[in-house]
Structures are given as C-alpha cells and as structure tokens.
Amino acid sequence: MASLRPAPSRAASADPASAAATVVPVAANASPSPRAGLAEGLNASSAAPGQAQKTPQRRVRVARAGATDLAPAAPRKAAPADGASDALPPFPPDSLAASLWLAARAVAAVLEGRSLDVGLACLKAPPAAARPAAQDAAYGALRRFAWGDLILARLLSTPLKAIEVRALLLVALYRLETRPEAAHTVVNQAVVAAAELAGGAFRGLVNGVLRNYLRQRESLLAAAAADPEAASQHPRWWLEKLQRAYPREWQAIVAAGNTQPPMCLRVNRRLAGRDAYAAELAEAGIEARPVGVDGLLLAHPQAVESLPGFATGRVSVQDAGAQRAAQILDPAPGARVLDVCAAPGGKSAHLLERADLDLLALDIDAARLRRVDATLARLGLQAATRVADGSVPVRAGAAGSWWDGRPFDAILVDAPCSASGVVRRHPDAKWLRRIGDVRALLGVQAAILDAVWPLLRPGGKLLYATCSVFPEENGAQIDAFLHRHADAGRELEERLLPLAEHDGFYYALVRKTV
C-alpha cells in the first residue's frame, strides 16, 4: 500500500498487557465457535470503554512516496465515550489508519445485520482519497469473513462484543494476509485506528491479537484450510446447494464468488458508438475490449469520474450479464413496457437506450426509486416511475391503483432473489442470508409473476430475470409458473454462471398465447 501513509500513533506503542487476559494462544485441539451467521449474536452493545486521554504533541514518522520524514502530529479530539464515530475519519485521508477505520465502520454495519450498501454509506463523507482503500478492505474482509471469524475464535478467549473493534480486527487480518510485507505498518495503524473506536479501550487487545496472529500464522492458516467454510469463504448450506445443483461446476462457482468482480461499461448508443468510445478510452489510457452488443469490459476497474462522458450520460457501469436483459426482451419501438422491481434502473435505462418506449418503472422502495430517476436523468432518458409493490394484484380504477387499465406489450420482472450469482459484488449476502430466506423469496417471486401476468396483452412477452444461480429461484420457478398459467409458453431460457467477464444470471422469456 505505497499510496497509504501511516497516521500518527496515539502512543509510542500499545500496551499488550491490556489484552493478555483476552488473547489466547492456539491450542492443538481448539475449535472455533460455530458461525450461525452475522445477524445472530452480534448485536450486543460495545463494552464500556475507559476515559480517553488527550494526545500530546509528538514527532512521528510519516511515510511518503520515496521518502521517510519526521513531522509533528497535531493533537486530535478524543473519541466520544460512547464509542460513536465522527462522520469523517480523524486521520489524514491518505493514511492506512483512515482506510482501516472506515472499513471497520462499514463491516460493523454488516455484523449488526445491515447490508454492505448501508455500511459503505459512511464512505461518502470522507475525502475521495480515503474511499478506494477503505472500500477494498471492507469488501475483502467480508469475502473472507469465515476465514477471519475462525482466526478470531482461536485468538480470543471470549467473543468480542465491541462490534466496531471486532470489525477492525477482521479488516486488519485481511490486510495482513494480503499485504504481508507491510505487517508491522498494518499492526501499528490498526492500533492507531483502534484508539478512535470505543474510547480507545481496545488498543492493547488489537495489538495483542494481531501480533499473536503473526506469531501463530502457520498453524492458524492450517486450521482455516481444514474448515470447509473458512477454506471456501461460503456458508456450509450455500456450498451444499451448489454441490447438489452443479456437481461439476460448483467449485468454479465458489472460486468466482471469491474474486474481484469485473468492471463492464454499457455505451449509450443514443449518444456514442461503442467503437468510437473505446477509442476515447484508449486515448485516456484505459484498456477495454468489446463484450456483448453494447458492452466494453475494462482491463482494470476505474473511478467513474475518470470515464469520458460519464456525467453526461454517454456511458454507464453495468455487468455484461445484466445487459442481456434488454437484448432478450427487445421490445419494439413504441411498445408499452413495465419494469417491475426496477431500481437502481440500469435495465430500464438500457431498454430506453435501444428504443423509444412508453416505459413504467415500479419499485417498492421510494428511496431506491429515486435512484432510477437519477439514472434516467443522467442519461437523458424519460420514463414514468411509481412506488408500488409488484407482488400485490392490481385492478384498474381501484383506490390507490397504479395501473390505468391499458395492457403492456412487454414486462420485465427483475425479481428479488438470493443474489447468489453476484456474491462477489455483494459479499455480505452469503453471510446475511439464511436458507429460510431463499424459501421466502420463492414466494415473493411467484407472487410478482402471478400479479403482473394479467397485465400483459395476448401475444405479449414477459422476461423473468434473477441474479441467482440457485435452480429453485430460476428454472423451477418458471416451471411452476407455467403449470399455473395455461396461456403461458416458454420461448427462451438462458443461464449464465459467474465467469471472469460476467456475473451469474438467469433469464426466461415467456409469451402469452393469443
């Protein structure tokens, strides 16, 4: 992490003795506590911290590119006694401590049962320099959660109830394993970050845990390699479902789920040609190659601000697999189209880029629907948007009805699902989900299909789409739907397993008989 410089330490060194009663060596027969899931047993409040002390003026080493200098460190405001964090990191934004601190806040939100999207919201306030490293650390720690959870279970004598400190340890363990050459700096900066969590009461514990990990690394890694969840980075029930459904491909699916996702662009054909835009990227030093009909797969992820014309709607970020939806549904110009569960709006936008349509975008979440409006505005596209629950049958003219009685020529059901095909983009999903959640989602998917089918005109077509690889959400769901509706016929079915250039998706095109 040459671009990250150490933040000033709160003290010359953390006191390892303060963690001695909690940090334990690895016993030969030690076994980690069972991982029942992130949302269970992790909502206890932080332990009561001690009183934070003022930081004296001191001289510390600040690592910059190509040089090591001595510089005075300015005093910082002590962390609140209740463990709450300020919106901005109390460190230089380009410091490793800042990225660890921010990543810990994002991971802590997931440990408390919230989504990573919610956790990453805290990364919007800090300067742009702090966000990339923090986001990378948060995603990495959650992709390897089972591994980190096992390590902590073996290094702590009792579960750590201070959620943000626990999250910091997970993030720091990830960073130690991916940046072993910077182990001393990572430990130091994790202790600095711990000084701003829970009143600084766990600095010694963080120092002790991380140093014990380094001393016992080989035996800990061997234990993790012998644990199916820690080795695969997937819950046991998830692995069993994949093994049953894909006896030949399950290992490749698991491996793909643990990788960095590809970054694919969708060129707005109304404003730019794909080849011409690819040439612009090349001039900007951004390597890309064509994929699909409108896509460009980047060799390396880029900040959207660096993409030519992104702000003016010439290009969007959308996985190549997700771009298949508009290509398969392919409504004729002037068609009346319904997009159910439309947020954040990428598929609606792609449909409108391809043809002039009378499109209505629905979503049950008003906040997420505003993202659809923002997406369409950036791209210079127009559509009607309504907050509505697509799983509830609707009748024209009824009180509160969003439907005007005119049938649709085409319907896109981008159904809520397990997200098992996009888990590398949403690593929190595999730890927050339960097998019972998948069963509940099956009912929601069926309800949406049944509710919107009467709104489709005879001869019209419905595209059912998920970002799942679990068969019961895909082909089995459509089989059941066809059994319930004699006027429905399957015209096309496409299954995409996650690969290097796209995520996992399922599509089924169904036509209503005349």
Whether omega for the bond prior to residue 344 falls within 30 degrees of 0, making it cis, is yes
What is the spatial distance between Cα 435 and Cα 437, in angstroms, rounded to a whole number? 5
Q: Which two tokens stand for residue 276?
A: 């011409």
What is the spatial distance between Cα 211 and Cα 18, in angstroms, rounded to a whole number? 13
Q: Which candidate, 315, 327, 267, 287, places its Cα nearest to that of 496? A: 327
Residue type at 254 in one-letter notation: V
Judge whether 125 is annotated as a binding position.
Answer: no
Let me know if 172 is exposed, middle or buried by CB neighbors in 10 A (0-12, 13-18, 19+).
buried
The beta strands (E) that lie in 261-367 are given as 264-267, 288-291, 295-298, 315-317, 336-340, 358-363
Residues 6+ apart with CB under 8 A from 92: 5, 7, 98
Residues 6+ apart with CB under 8 A from 485: 450, 453
Question: Taking a C-beta distance cutoff of 8 angstroms, is the pair 343, 368 a contact?
Answer: yes
Tell whether the torsion through CA atoms of 117, 441, 346 and 467 is positive or negative.
positive
3 state SS of 409: strand
Q: Is 467 labeled as catalytic in the residue annotation?
A: yes
Judge whether 342 is annotated as a binding position.
Answer: yes
Judge whether 347 is annotated as a binding position.
Answer: yes
What is the spatial distance between Cα 467 and Cα 495, in angstroms, rounded to a whole number? 10
Q: Which two tokens stand for residue 102?
A: 């921010």
Question: Taking a C-beta distance cutoff of 8 angstroms, is the pair 197, 165 a contact?
Answer: yes
Judge whether 161 is annotated as a binding position.
Answer: no
For strands 67-73 and 384-387, give the pairing: unpaired
What is the spatial distance between Cα 282 and Cα 403, in angstroms, rounded to a whole number? 46
State the catalytic residue, choosing from 122, 264, 417, 467.
467
3 state SS of 462: strand
Judge whether 333 is annotated as a binding position.
Answer: no
Judge whether 346 is annotated as a binding position.
Answer: yes
DSSP lists the bridge partners of residue 456 as: 408
**Residue 40 DSSP one-character state:** S
Judge whether 344 is annotated as a binding position.
Answer: yes
**Residue 294 DSSP one-character state:** T
**Residue 26 DSSP one-character state:** P
Judge whether 414 is annotated as a binding position.
Answer: yes
Judge whether 321 is annotated as a binding position.
Answer: no
Q: Which two tokens stand for residue 487?
A: 């006027």
Tell whether the torsion through CA atoms of 185, 186, 187 and 191 is positive or negative.
positive
Residues belonging to the active site: 467
User: Residues annotated in the binding site, as ranges?
Assistant: 341-347, 363, 414
User: Residues annotated in the binding site for S-adenosyl-L-methionine, as ranges?
Assistant: 341-347, 363, 414
